[in-house]
Structures are given as structure tokens and as C-alpha cells.
Amino acid sequence: MKILLYSDLAIHPSQLFWHRDLGLLTKAFRDLGHEAYLVVHLATESCPAPDLFSHSEIRNSKSPIPPVLWVSQQDVRNPLWWKDHHPDLVILGLWTRPKYDPIRRAALSATPHVVERADSDGMRTASCGLLTYAKRRFDYFRDRTFRWPSLLSIPASIFYSFASILATPWIEFRLRKTMELLPSIFVETPHATNLWKSLATRFGVDPSKIQCVPHPIQTDIFNFDSAIQKKKQIISVGRWDSYQKNLPLLLKTLRNFLEKNPSWTSLVIGSGLPTKSPHPRITFLPHISPPDLARHMQESKIFFFSSHYESFLIAGVEALSCGCAVVGPSETPVIGNDPLPPKDSFLGSTYHLLTQKLQITSVSESPAASPMKNARLSSPTTLAQRILLPFA
């Protein structure tokens, strides 16, 4: 089969993401013998220095040449571009945003087999839960205005949240059109899938086109190793210059926990960290390669996060695969957790609740190898085979 996996991202050639998302799926399809290509836009503006995930990431695949199609914004909206490539299957990473409907129609003109990954927590409209939706909209816009002065960013985010609620009829009208257009939608967690199915039913759209399909992770390196002894160590991974990841809450909770538990240490990895750690047993590390990250996760007992919102939390599933217990806000579902968050999830990211969760988890039995039963669902090969099953 010829498979095109498209994301509306402008990427520098040195920053192609073969280790996650559509890049990892592209590798998996090619390893299964299919002609798969990652379709992205070439970044024209100046880019930061190349990161650790470059073309070399594809060399472990059976296809040694980076399978990339660089496309312009104009071409991807042109049905002729898609028809010229004769795809048997198209997988879109467009977040189900209605503004991309011209691209969806162009792809559907070449093949009826079009799948879209929602990458969504399911809170798409106010009818999914008014308070939680309002908080999500505030957090979403605050994340995008985080570099603004707080006196401007916070009121703007409040305004955006209320405007989104008022615009619910228009948002739902456009979303219904998009859902009617797409033959299949993949949603990443059970809870989000239930919300999407409820939306589809309310819109008069066939809910069977909504399927729960998690993101792939590199289960060949992110796995439990019984030969590696677990330390009393908490690991956290993220883009810490983002409002979404909530670094202040993370550090405050870690400091409190470490003061009460002197035998424990913490490792915080990622970009945007302060130059100096706030505690002698909190170690900061910049981005590291996936094998090195996997090793740290295999040595850790707890993966801790404090995000305002997440759609899937890939790093959490990677840690789960390595035998870590996952501790974080109750409203953020992780594969393997209960499919439905508790009703008080609107307050689930408070400092006191997270502190209690860390303390309770620290004295509990380590999950060890058992999470692999769930994490194996995110194996790239398993997911690729599952996606292809209806087209066999």
C-alpha cells in the first residue's frame, strides 16, 4: 500500500520527528513493507540548532532513506497533488480543526480511505462540560500568550474562554461538518473517545467512525528491564517554558515532597529550565536522546507531571512502559488509568492533591512490568497493523 501521513507543520530537515507521532508510524508502515511517506512543509525561516532527532533516526528502519515529501501550503489544498501521488491510505494530523476542511476534501478526492488523528482530550465544545471546557479554553490561550505580560495575558485568556462558550453554536456547526466529512477519526484516550462519541451522536454523525487509537511510542527502548534496579527517584519530562506544563507547580510539589522524604531524589528533563535548581536533590537536565531518557525512566520509580492539560501525555506512557508509577492531575487521562476522571477533576491539579498523590505513591508497590500490558498497545507495529486491518 502507498500511505501518506500529513501534518500541517513547517519543519527544518534536521528536525524531523521520527521518534514520535506520525514519524514513528511512517517508520512502522515501512517496516511492514508498505510505501509510506511523511508529508510536511519545509520551514523557510531561520531555525534553531538541529536537535538530536535528525535523519539518522530513520536508519534503524528497513528503509534507510528518509521517506519525506516536502509540500507547499498551496499544493496540499490541490486535489491534483493528492491524485498525482495515488495514495491507498491518507492519515492526517490536523487536530480536527474545521479550517483544514479544504485539505481533507483534496485528500478524499484521491482516496476514500482517509483517517484523522484528533490529538484531543475530547473537550471540543462547551456541551462536553461547561466548567472543564472553560478551564481548557483559558489554559489553551494562556499557553499561547504566556510570553505576554500577565496583566495582558490573563484577561485575554479569560475573554477567549468566555468568547469560546458564546460561540458554541457556531463551533459545533463547523465541527459537525468536519466530522461528517471524515470517514474515520482516531482519538487517543478512552475518556476522550467517549466524549467524541457523545458529540457525534448529538450531531447525528455515525459514532462508529470514532475509534480509540493511542499514539505510538518506541516500545523497543521504552520498556521494563528487570536487570535495572529502581531508585527512589522521581522523573519529569517536558517543555518547561510552556504554561501548559506548569513548572512552578511541579517544583513547588517536588520541594515539599523531598523535604519530607530525604531518601528520594528528582530528575527534571527538558527545555526552558532555570539555570539553578531550587533544591539540592532536584537535578535539571536538557533534552536527551530517547535511549538515555529510557534509561533514566527505567531507573525511576515515579513519573510526575503537573500539566494544566494534556491530550495523551506521550512521556507518561513511555514512563509507564519502563515500570514507573504515573502521578499527575486527575483530569489528565493516561492510557492504563481509569477511563473516566473523577467529577472533581476541575480542581485536580491543586498543589495539595498532587502532594498527597506523590506521598501515597512513594510508599506503594512499584508497577514494575505490569504496565507493559497497557503500554504494548502503543507499539508502532501493533498500531500500524491495527490501522491497516480494515483495508486488508
The band of 366, judged by pLDDT with boundaries at 50, 70 and 90, is low
Which CATH class for the 233-377 domain?
alpha beta
Options 3.40.50.2000, 3.40.50.300, 1.20.1060.10, 1.10.10.60; which CATH number does 2-122+172-217+379-391 get?
3.40.50.2000
pLDDT at 360 over 90: no
pLDDT at 274 over 70: yes
Spatial distance between the Cα atoms of 291 and 223, rounded to a whole number of angstroms: 11
β-bridge mates for residue 116, sequence order: 92, 185
Query: Mind listing the pLDDT tens digit for each residue in 51-94?
Result: 333 444 444 444 445 699 999 999 999 999 999 999 999 999 99
Q: Which of 12-26, 263-277, 352-366 has the lowest mean pLDDT?
A: 352-366
pLDDT (average), residues 337-344:
43
What local confidence, expressed as pLDDT, does residue 46 receive? 47
> Longest C-alpha distance within the chain, in Å?
64
* 233-377 and 2-122+172-217+379-391 share a CATH fold: yes
Sheet arrangement for strand 89-93: 68-70, 35-42, 2-11, 89-93, 114-117, 184-187, 210-212
pLDDT at 42 over 80: yes
Residues 6+ apart with CB under 8 A from 216: 20, 21, 24, 25, 28, 378, 379, 380, 383, 384
β-bridge mates for residue 117, sequence order: 186
> Domain boundaries in the chain?
2-122+172-217+379-391, 126-170, 233-377
What local confidence, expressed as pLDDT, does residue 367 receive? 61
- Helix (H) or strand (E) segment spanning residue 197: helix 190-203
The band of 35, judged by pLDDT with boundaries at 50, 70 and 90, is very high
The band of 350, judged by pLDDT with boundaries at 50, 70 and 90, is confident
Cα 143 to Cα 104, 118, 212, 227: the distances in Å are: 28, 19, 27, 40
pLDDT at 47 over 50: no
In 118-189, at which residue ranges do the beta strands (DSSP E only) sit? 184-187
pLDDT at 6 over 50: yes
Spatial distance between the Cα atoms of 78 and 183, rounded to a whole number of angstroms: 19
The band of 40, judged by pLDDT with boundaries at 50, 70 and 90, is very high
What local confidence, expressed as pLDDT, does residue 94 receive? 96
Return the closest-CA partner of residue 175 out of 208, 201, 199: 199
What local confidence, expressed as pLDDT, does residue 56 receive? 41
Residue 336 φ then ψ, to 5° = 100, -20
Q: How many C-beta atoms lie closer than 10 Å to residue 147's C-beta?
A: 8
Spatial distance between the Cα atoms of 141 and 288, rounded to a whole number of angstroms: 29
What local confidence, expressed as pLDDT, does residue 172 receive? 96
The band of 345, judged by pLDDT with boundaries at 50, 70 and 90, is very low
Query: Mind listing the pLDDT tens digit for each residue in 124-161?
Result: 999 998 988 999 999 999 999 988 999 999 999 999 99
pTM assigned to the model? 0.86
Q: Which three cell numbers stand for residue 131?
A: 466548567
Calculate the CA 306 to chain-centre distance. 15
Mean pLDDT over all residues of the chain?
86
Residue 291 φ then ψ, to 5° = -60, -40
What local confidence, expressed as pLDDT, does residue 18 receive? 83
pLDDT at 266 over 60: yes
What local confidence, expressed as pLDDT, does residue 124 receive? 93
What local confidence, expressed as pLDDT, does residue 16 receive? 79
What local confidence, expressed as pLDDT, does residue 334 receive? 53
